Amino acid sequence: MTRVSLDRINSWNESVLSVKNQSTEETASAFNRDGFVIVRNVFSETELVKIDDHLSRFVIEVTPTLPPGEVYFEDDAPGILKSAFRLNEHDPFFDELRESHRIREIVSAIFDDPDIVSDGITFFGKAAGSGSQTVAHQDNGFQVMVPPEGLTATIALDTSTTENGVLCCLRGSHKLGLLPHAQSGIPGFSRKIAEPLDRDAFPEVALCMQPGDVAFHHIDSVHYSGENRSARSRRQLGILCFSSRAKRDEKAFAAYKQGLNELHESKLKNSGNKN
Ligand SMILES: O=C(O)CCC(=O)C(=O)O
């Protein structure tokens, strides 16, 4: 089981992650070097209130209607939302957010491509006291895009800290390309990297954020997060973005989907749980 080891999250993180007022070029260059970067204060308080409002509506009105695979609840805390996919297909507000020019400008600079494709918006919750861990994986272990020119832009809705399940990336791991993945058996994160990486070669960095900050991580960057046993929730929205050159490996994607379907069927058989 991968755990976030707080003692390894060293002062390097703070100095690099707290750079203020960096240009888009500097942001892109930090991303290309490390496989992730944080941009502070991208969304204002007023915008966050709007996002919260639409999210509450989505949770109340839409999640009960979603089929397995589109929404996941915590195994140990029935009814507590863990993740939900493609929010943009259910509310034009999220479709607009998906196309946010502030995010697109940065992604365009990173991949040197004016024709960035913004895919779906995902909700990643980590409820106070019951948020479960996310196993170490690369997003491209699910997305299987070739060339691997893509990233997830994560909008922080709550403060994320080492106590409430902060997202952690392994610095430089995006340069390894797509690593072998194995089935994790965990609904919502059905795949994990088959072998752990050497933490000295690829140091763990906690992407601690304030509401309105946006973290960008490469689809080949190995990342994970710990449990949330604290009293504060850690909610985030992830927007998947690809360069216009990146195309899906359909055969590999079908294999992933088959594994996912088998997992859903076995969970349904065993528990009758919606997961
Ligand atoms: O919620 C988390 O911590 C995991 C999110 C994640 O895996 C992602 O954004 O790609």
SS (H, E, C) 42-62: CCCHHHHHHHHHHHHHHHHHH
Beta-bridge partners for 83: 72, 124
Beta-bridge partners for 247: 146
| Measured distance CA(262)–CA(275) in Å, rounded | 12
Three-class SS state of 160:
strand
- What's the whole-number mean pLDDT along residues 17-30? 81
| Measured distance CA(158)–CA(170) in Å, rounded | 22
Angle between helix 24-34 and 101-111 (nearest 10): 60
| Distance in Å, CA 228 to ligand 1 centroid | 13
| Distance in Å, CA 167 to ligand 1 centroid | 6
- pLDDT-derived band at 19, boundaries 50, 70, 90: low
Q: Is 225 in the pocket of ligand 1 (CB under 6 A)?
A: yes
Report whether 152 contacts 250 (CB < 8 A). no
Testing ligand 1's pocket by substitution, the residue of 2, 157, 219, 225 carrying the most ligand atoms inside 8 A of its CB is: 225
Position 12, amino acid: W
Please tell me what DSSP assigns to residue 116: -
Testing ligand 1's pocket by substitution, the residue of 163, 219, 223, 233 carrying the most ligand atoms inside 8 A of its CB is: 223
| Measured distance CA(264)–CA(163) in Å, rounded | 30
Ligand 1 atom 10 nearest Cα: 139
Position in ligand 1 atom list of the atom nearest CA 189:
7
> Which of 4-13, 118-127, 130-139, 210-219 shows the lowest mean pLDDT across its residues?
4-13
Ligand 1 atom 1 nearest Cα: 124
Q: What is the pTM of this model?
A: 0.91
Question: What local confidence, expressed as pLDDT, does residue 10 receive?
Answer: 40
Give the mean pLDDT of the chain: 90
Position in ligand 1 atom list of the atom nearest CA 139:
10
Position in ligand 1 atom list of the atom nearest CA 137:
7
Please tell me what DSSP assigns to residue 242: E
| Statement: residue 49 has pLDDT above 60 | yes
Question: What local confidence, expressed as pLDDT, does residue 20 receive?
Answer: 61
| Distance in Å, CA 166 to ligand 1 centroid | 9
| Measured distance CA(195)–CA(182) in Å, rounded | 9
Q: Is 132 in the pocket of ligand 1 (CB under 6 A)?
A: no
Report whether 178 contacts 137 (CB < 8 A). no
SS3 percent helix, strand, coil of the chain, rounded to 5, is 35, 25, 40
pLDDT tens digits for 240-270? 999 999 999 999 999 888 888 888 887 777 7
